[in-house]
Structure 1
Amino acid sequence: MTSILDSVDSRTKLVGENRLELLIFQLGTRQLFAINVFKVREVLKVPHLNQMPGSHPKICGVATIRGQSIPVIDMRQSVGMRPLEKDQDTNLIVTEYNRTVQAFLVGKVVYIKNMGWDEIMEPPSTGRGNYLTAITKLEHDNENKLVEIIDVEKVLAEIVSYDIGISEEVLDEDLSHHLMNTRVLVVDDSSTARKQVTETLGQLGIECIEKKNGAHALQLLKSWCDEGKNVTDEILLMITDAEMPEMDGYKLTSEVRADSRMSHLYIALNTSLSGSFNEAMVEKVGCNRFVSKFQPDLLVDVVQTRMREKLEEEMGKK
């Protein structure tokens, strides 16, 4: 089963081309689901699972994989369906999100599909749509099938609460009045991730403008430029996810840098992807900072760093 991931090494070539690779799987029905291959470490048949008394009901056990104990989450149950029954088509998808490793119990793993982000659409806002970041359509078994792309960050947030507390030692009191009522553009397709950023920065008195994907964010930025506004007067910085429908964060950054009217905008890439990979991509596409998701102190550090730079820029003009 691991061979299904043989093409993963080519994923770095997709960066800046507004493309992604989806790992397509089922959850005991004919319906197709997906997650981005970027997050996947490996796929394997279900090993023996050790039970964890008192654990969250969506955790169906712990697997020992390559000497590491990894919690196993029932993906079917996590998106509002009945628990998945284990059979010969049951598999584990081992992933890394936000610096943690976990496995998801799924049904049959179908294949990997290379697609453009412009082929990915926003999900419905009702029913299981609450657990999706996007949907798309694929030809499968001679049918045009809907594929539901799961919001794994929401799934994980319902199992492990994310802290938005800010450490006192991180806060710079000299900047507090400068940050009050400042605006930041937050771009992310996950409502859970947007909420974490807005609630964290809200403690500093910062107003967050939220957009669900790069295309919507770029449209807003260009509208300000068309009106003769300076984007750095409108917002302190933009915090963007990497993976989003229509236009990903890498492409968004490239588009901003290519437009002389806003090329100087400070951009932080805020993502749950692995740090080493993204640090290289930050340099490639021209972001100013890379921040792993769900780290409030790092978010505050990015905002305060940018404010210091802005104040220095303003002093230099006097």
Structure 2
Amino acid sequence: MSNENATLLDNVDARTKLAGSNKMEILLFSLGTRETFGINVFKVREVSQTPKITKTPNMPVGVEGVISLRGNIIPVMSLAKFVCPNEEKGSTEATMIVTEFSKHTQGFLVDSVDRIIRVDWNKVRAPETMLAGNQALITAITELEDGKLVSILDVESILSSVLGETFVPEIPAVAMEQDRFMFFCDDSIVARKEIISVLDKVSVKYQQANNGAEAWEKLQNIANRYQHEKEPLRSFLKLILVDAEMPEMDGYVLTKHIKSDSRFQGIPVVMHSSLSSNANRAMGSSVGVDAYVAKFDPLVLAETISPYLQA
């Protein structure tokens, strides 16, 4: 990996300017196969040669052990064992990508890191059903200038397969009138399942979408259906919950669309993202989100959205 790309990883200010531009930066890497994989740069803390890993007993499949990183003990996982377990081992796993999301830090072993590219979210699409295997670990596909496809990993699903599904405790139900509902969008299968678990616990009706472009289309259709009601849309649609990273249109651009459309006036937008740093919160604020909640703590999510739903 070049010094230029290493510098980009540390350049938070430059990356923050991407908010609302519908662009993302992807770190490209190989797992020793012919495929090219990618991960959002916002999730990457650093890239280094693989350090000495301490083996520990009773670790889940795919977890190679732990390392000490600046005084913190973090797990190190073999991405190849998750993404292409049936492939003949070709990865040297000589490189480690340290990622941080959903308040977890972990190292992922890869064969090699290539470079960082910047792409438009509208050129990032959800994978076709036939490509969405590997336990749905591929959340999106984009294409390089030479026509080569890049598979963008759903890191949330990988972490869920290691840690197990998040336990959703009993949460007090929200008092809402029968015809009131909320809307949420998220491209991760794991995240959608966990959000629905919380909403079912609090007895909230909802509609959903799998990416920003689909969400915006559905929200406009909702606004059109309710435009002849005597009450404004905000009396029925109480809250919109958006993910930050989504194919075709990210949550920042989606929020800008919502906030600039007078039909959605008074409807709060909460950003629910695995990108939990202060910089990402600032990016959310810059496009007008009313609250920002990090994935995934079901109690915190419920406590964040409940006041809006009962307003």
TM-score (norm 2): 0.90
**Matched residue SS, 1:136:** strand
Residue 6 of structure 1: aligned partner: 7
User: Aligned partners of 1:103, 1:85: CA distance in 2, in Å?
Assistant: 19
Amino acid of the residue matched to residue 250 of structure 1?
Y
Q: 1:182·1:205 contact (CA, 8 Å) conserved in 2?
A: no
Amino acid of the residue matched to residue 274 of structure 1?
S
Residue 161 of structure 1: aligned partner: 164
Counterpart check, 1:130 vs 2:131: no
User: Aligned partners of 1:157, 1:293: CA distance in 2, in Å?
Assistant: 12
Q: 1:2·1:42 contact (CA, 8 Å) conserved in 2?
A: no
Q: 2:31·2:112 contact (CA, 8 Å) conserved in 1?
A: yes
User: Aligned partners of 1:86, 1:123: CA distance in 2, in Å?
Assistant: 24
Shift of 1:203: 1.0
Find 1:199's aligned residue among 175, 197, 200: 197
> What are the equivalent positions in structure 2 for 1:145-224 lying under 5 Å apart?
145-166=148-169, 171=172, 176-178=174-176, 182-224=180-222
User: Aligned partners of 1:193, 1:58: CA distance in 2, in Å?
Assistant: 21
Find 1:101's aligned residue among 100, 105, 109: 105
Residue 114 of structure 1: aligned partner: 118
User: Aligned partners of 2:115, 2:177: CA distance in 1, in Å?
Assistant: 47
Q: Deviations over 1:27-74 (max 9, x none)?
A: 001210001000000000111111011100110121222332221111
Residue 258 of structure 1: aligned partner: 260
> What are the equivalent positions in structure 2 for 1:139-150 lying under 5 Å apart?
139=145, 143-150=146-153
Unmatched 5+ stretches in structure 1? 311-318
Q: 2:174·2:204 contact (CA, 8 Å) conserved in 1?
A: no
TM-score (norm 1): 0.88
Residue 45 of structure 1: aligned partner: 49
Unmatched 5+ stretches in structure 2? none
**Matched residue SS, 1:53:** coil
Shift of 1:179: 6.8
Q: 1:123·1:133 contact (CA, 8 Å) conserved in 2?
A: yes
Pair 1:278–1:263, CA change in 2 (3 A) = farther
Q: 1:121·1:245 contact (CA, 8 Å) conserved in 2?
A: yes
Counterpart check, 1:282 vs 2:284: yes
Q: 2:181·2:236 contact (CA, 8 Å) conserved in 1?
A: yes
Identical residues among aligned pairs (%)? 34
Question: Which is worse superposed, 61-70 or 31-40?
Answer: 61-70
CA RMSD of aligned residues (A): 2.1
Counterpart check, 1:236 vs 2:238: yes
Pair 1:86–1:132, CA change in 2 (3 A) = closer
Residue 300 of structure 2: aligned partner: 298
Amino acid of the residue matched to residue 244 of structure 2?
A
Q: 1:135·1:147 contact (CA, 8 Å) conserved in 2?
A: yes
Shift of 1:262: 1.1
Amino acid of the residue matched to residue 59 of structure 1?
V
